[in-house]
Amino acid sequence: MLYEFESRGLLSGVTILIDISKLGLDYVKEDSSGLRIGASTTFTDALRSRQINSRPAFGALADALSAIRPVQVRNVATLGGAICSGLPVLDLPPASVAVRAKIALAGSRGRRTLDVEDFFLGFLETALKRGEFLMEVRVPRPPAHTGSAFQKLETNSVDWAVLSVATSVTLTNDKVSNARIVFGGGVVGAVPRRATEAEEAMVEAAATEDVIGRAAEEASRSTEFADDERASADYRRQVARVLVRESLANSVERARRDKG
C-alpha cells in the first residue's frame, strides 16, 4: 500500500515516515476487561493465539482472519492495517462490529477509545485524526454463552467479497438475549451496516431454526444492497438470506459451547 501511494505520487509532500511495527504492539492479551489485540499483530499470530481460539464468542474474528488468503498475506497483514486502511469492504470491519470491538487510539494529544462502529466513516475515511495511530483493538469480555461467526461469498480470494456477514448471539436460558447482524461495507453503503430490526426481532426468542430463518429473511429484506459489476442487488439479497442464516446458526451453535 505504501509503495502504491508512492508510485501514485501521494507521498510527494511527506518527508518523514514513522514505522510503528517495532513498538511492541504485536500481542494478544486477555484481562478482566476482555481481549486486547495490538495493532501490529499479524493475522497469522492472531489466529494462533489461545485467547482468540479459546472462546467461541470470538469466532467471528477467527473466521474473518482465516478468510484472508493466502498465507503469504496473513503473514504480513496486521489488524491495525485492516482497520486503519479505511476499507470497510475488508472482512475484519464487520467481524469487529459483531463482537462490539473498541478502537484504542493514541496520539500527540493523548489517548481515546471509540466504538468500532464510530470509527468507520466512509470509503478510505476513518475517525483517525492527524498525528494519531491505532494502538490496540479491544473486545469487551462478552457474557457467557455468546457465539459469533463470519461468512462471505467471493468470486476469488483477491477480489472484494460479493457479500460478507458477521453475526453474534448471546443466549440466556437458551433464549436470545442479544444479537448482532452486520453486513460488510462497500455493498450496503460505504461502512458496515447492522440489520437492527432483524436483531431486535430475535431478542427473547428461542434460538430455533425457524427464528434464525425469519431473522435472515428480515435482514435481507430490510437492507439496501448495491447493484454493481460484481453482483446485482437482487442476487446479493438472495445471498444475504443464506449467509445470515448460516452465520447465525454457527453463532448459536458456538454460543451453546461458550463457557464465558
* Backbone phi and psi for residue 57, each to the nearest 5 degrees, phi listed first: -60, -25
Looking at beta carbons only, is 89 or 219 nearer to other proteins? 89
Of the candidate spans 54-62, 66-74, 146-154, 216-224, the one that interacts with other proteins by CB under 8 A turns out to be: 66-74
Question: Which cell numbers in the block locate residue 185?
Answer: 461495507
Size of the site for other proteins (CB under 8 A): 21
In DSSP terms, which residues pair with 36 in a beta bridge? 29, 138
Select from 9, 24, 31, 70 the one that contacts other proteins (CB under 8 A): 70
Q: How far apart are the first and last CA of the chain?
A: 38
- Cα gap 31→240, rounded to integer Å: 35
Of the candidate spans 15-23, 88-96, 122-130, 219-227, the one that interacts with other proteins by CB under 8 A turns out to be: 15-23
Looking at beta carbons only, is 74 or 138 nearer to other proteins? 74
Query: Residue 94 carries which side chain, given as an amino acid letter?
Result: P
| Least spacing, CB of residue 7 vs other proteins, in Å | 9
At residue 136, the 3 state secondary structure works out as strand
* Backbone phi and psi for residue 184, each to the nearest 5 degrees, phi listed first: -65, 150
112 in contact with other proteins (CB under 8 A): no
Binding to other proteins in span 145-204, by CB under 8 A: 157-158
Select from 23, 73, 114, 144 the one that contacts other proteins (CB under 8 A): 73
Angle value at C-alpha 183, between 177 and 186, nearest 5 degrees:
160
List contacts with other proteins (CB under 8 A): 2-3, 5-6, 11, 14-17, 19, 21, 44, 69-73, 75-76, 157-158
